Structure formats: structure tokens, C-alpha cells
Amino acid sequence: MAHAMPAPPLRERLAVIATLLGPLPHAKLDTEIGASGAKKSGVRMLKAECGAACGYTIRILPKWARVGLPLCPVNPAHGALVCDIPDDANDVAAVLQENAVAETPIVIPPNE
């Protein structure tokens, strides 16, 4: 596959930006987990689908499914999408914890 490499000015600029960003605020990637997927995400997406025969389907977080399901975008007359929402409160706690991670704005200096 052909690909373009950054020219020296861009490489220098990217090096400055990488220095300003510092280390990646993330756990080390676990490359031992393969396609078999031994480890699953803490939050499970739910399948919501149109109750009519149009076949419209989306994936939605339990948190948002509890807030309310959207109307079918194919035809609003089909009504709200249908979804089996579990009563498990752990998924809500996981979403809240996920959203609690502080986001620090990154300021990139202007190009000189």
C-alpha cells in the first residue's frame, strides 16, 4: 500500500505537539487479547428496532434507552423504537464512571 510520509517541517511540528501532549492518559494496550475477545466492554449496547416492518435498527446505551427511545426516522408514524431495557443498575454506574473521566483541554500552538 502506498502512503505519504510527513515532510520535515510537519515532522518537527508533530514532535512539538507530541511533547506538549505528554504521555497518553490511557492504560497500556493489552495486545494479548485477540479476536476471540476474552475481555468485554463494561457497557453493553442495546438493540433498538422499529416495531413496524421497515427494519430500522440502532444500538443504544442503556442509559439513553431509559431516558427515551427515538421515533423511527424512516416514518415517524411507526412510533418510537422498541428495546428490551434490563433493570440492571450496574450498566448505569459504568456509564457514569466512564463519563466521570476529566477531560483536559489540549492547547496546540499556532503554526509559525
Q: Is 52 in the site for Zn ion (CB under 5 A)?
A: yes
- Residue 91 exposed, middle or buried by CB count within 10 Å (0-12, 13-18, 19+): buried
11 vs 59 by CB, closer to Zn ion: 59
Q: Does 72 contact Zn ion by CB under 5 A?
A: yes
Q: Tell me: does residue 94 bind Zn ion (CB under 5 A).
A: no
Q: Residue 62 and residue 85: Cα distance in Å, rounded?
A: 7
Q: Where are the alpha helices (DSSP H) in the chain?
A: 8-21, 62-67, 90-99
Contacting residue, 78, 80, 82, 92, with Zn ion by CB under 5 A: 78
Using CB under 5 A as the criterion, which residues of the chain lie in contact with Zn ion when the complex forms?
50, 52, 54, 56, 72, 74, 78
